[in-house]
Amino acid sequence: MKKSKKRILNVGCGSDTYGTHFIDLYPTRKEVIKCNADKDKFPFPDNYFDEVYSKCLFEHLRNPLHFLKESYRVLKKGGRIVIITDSAGFFGIFGSVHHGGYEKTSFGDEDRHYALFTTNHMKNWLESVGFKRIKVEYFIYEEKILKKHLPFVKLLCMVTKRMCPHIKAIGYKWF
């Protein structure tokens, strides 16, 4: 019997190619569907995906609850959500290192953070929508901007845990 391929939705994918389906406010290639994760219904049926993945989007959402509800809706029972977002603890020390400040993006819009989170915040958000078996941890996603400081950031993260640049949150749509 042939094993079926897992369906993975990458929300706010940018140029990232992880996943089987992609949505973004600013599509960068033909397979990316234009969708505003803050307010649009995701263009997929209920219970369709095995995983919803989002990296460095959650902190830019004005309406994270809408994003989470839509993610929950399109996930199959037993499916998981994976969110990587900026950590509030890290930015408190280093200031804004995301783009070196809130400068104009290549799309002409200002890059804005609407919220920064702790691990407890992320757990609360996921629980509020119904996700179970939640695991939240401080995390280092190696972005180009961190490359020259990466050894120091890794050491800081190991010692303090809360001063890591990112948080990874995983939750499951329970049966």
Q: Indicate whether 23 belongs to any domain.
A: yes
- Whole-number pLDDT of residue 142: 62
Has residue 109 got a pLDDT over 60?
Answer: no
DSSP percent split of the chain into helix, strand, coil, nearest 5? 30, 30, 45
Bridge partner residues of 87 (DSSP): 117
User: What's the pLDDT tens digit per position in 144-162?
Assistant: 555 666 666 666 666 666 6
Q: Indicate whether 2 belongs to any domain.
A: no
Q: Indicate whether 68 belongs to any domain.
A: yes
Residue 166 belongs to domain spanning? 8-172
Contact predicate 24/13, CB 8 Å? yes
- Whole-number pLDDT of residue 152: 65
Q: Indicate whether 3 belongs to any domain.
A: no
- Burial of 117: CB neighbours in 10 Å, binned 0-12, 13-18, 19+: buried
Q: Indicate whether 141 belongs to any domain.
A: yes
Has residue 14 got a pLDDT over 80?
Answer: yes
User: What's the pLDDT tens digit per position in 112-142?
Assistant: 778 888 889 999 999 999 999 999 988 776 6
Q: Indicate whether 58 belongs to any domain.
A: yes
- Whole-prediction pTM: 0.81
How many separate domains does the chain show? 1
- Whole-number pLDDT of residue 114: 80
CATH at residue 68: 3.40.50.150
Contact predicate 99/93, CB 8 Å? no
Instruction: Using alpha carbons, select from 90, 79, 93 the residue that is nearest to residue 162.
Output: 90
